[in-house]
Structure 1
Amino acid sequence: MSTRVDFYQLSRDPVEQVAVMLARKVMQAGERLLIVSENPGQRAAISKELWRGGAEEFLANGQADAAHAEKQPILLSDSMDAVNGASMVMFVDGKWRADALKFDRALLLFGAEATEAARGLWRELDSVEDVTREIHKQDENGRWRAGA
């Protein structure tokens, strides 16, 4: 199995906004998503942002410890257990989990404080078979660009 790992270096927009943008793209691709954070407050804030936007724009989601978690297209959790059958995982707390390589795609969102750890992970994944990596950075206009 091959895993794609996308690194998103946060420099302008808050993690909640970036998580919603990426979750929307995952849903448009017809996939399910697991969003992971150790911080329950962060998970709640992201859930709230996912529900915002009216009937045509909201992104249905739920917490992993709630009823019917397995039915949620987007599941928020503090663990790597994708009971919703997600093929993609997003780390919004900037912390990598090795179990990410069991998913088709992993998205690591990180801020300035986690840059060195992300660089170390990039180098570490360089030698892992069947892993492709891509870095995404935001320009001054808010557009995301892939590159080095």
Structure 2
Amino acid sequence: MAEIAFYHLTRTPLDQALPKLLGRVLAGGDRALVLCGSEDRVAALDAALWLSSDPDWLPHGSKATGHAAQQPIWLTAEDVGEAGAPNGARFLVLVDGAESARLVLFDRVLDLFDGGDEAAVAAARRRWSAARAAGHALSYWQQGPRGWEKKMG
């Protein structure tokens, strides 16, 4: 089973919060696959990661740039197949309410959702319940004045 951490965005938008989380993944020597809700979001996050100043270097790619196996961070709107992430990632980052049918292929899953969007919050609650029922280890993090605060798990 995967360890799934839900990240409740309340203070900064996704394009500002995601680079810091991905920076931590890379600092730990790991790779990440970011599963987006649309190709438009893939393009927007691609630009945001290139423009990020904290951290200032987040090597990444997408279908548009290719070479998945060489990319520490892979941005996609397509779920992984049975072979797993095309870049060998053991971290899966879910944004825009994206869901994967293959959570068990990852060691850790980060599910980021917008706390200002009631539909996104309701969908995250549904994903939490489904993940708990499936036996995954869960934690819940919320943005606070000093950064991420662990609330449950």
TM-score range, shorter chain: 0.7 to 0.9
What residue number does 1:132 align with? 137
What residue number does 1:85 align with? 88
Report Cα offsets for 1:50-83 as digits up to 9, x if no partner.
22257x8211110035331211000001112311
Q: Which amino acid aligns with 1:58?
A: W
Point out where structure 2 has 5 or more consecutive residues left out of the alignment: none
2:148 is the alignment partner of 1:144: yes
CA–CA separation in structure 2 for the residues paired with 1:86 and 1:23: 12
Report Cα offsets for 1:12-57 as digits up to 9, x if no partner.
2011111111100100010010011132222122112222257x82
CA–CA separation in structure 1 for the residues paired with 2:111 and 2:22: 13
CA–CA separation in structure 2 for the residues paired with 1:142 and 1:40: 32
Residue 117 of structure 1: how far off its partner (Å) = 1.6
Equivalent residues, number: 144
What residue number does 1:103 align with? 106
Point out where structure 1 has 5 or more consecutive residues left out of the alignment: none
Q: C-alpha root-mean-square deviation of aligned residues, in Å?
A: 1.8
Contact preservation (8 Å) 1:19, 1:92: no
Q: Which amino acid aligns with 1:125?
A: A
Instruction: Report the TM-score, using the length of structure 1 for normalisation.
Output: 0.87
CA–CA separation in structure 2 for the residues paired with 1:126 and 1:3: 11
CA–CA separation in structure 1 for the residues paired with 2:121 and 2:78: 23
What residue number does 1:17 align with? 16
Instruction: Report the TM-score, using the length of structure 2 for normalisation.
Output: 0.84
Map 1:11-90 onto structure 2 (within 5 A).
11-53=10-52, 57-81=56-80, 82-90=85-93
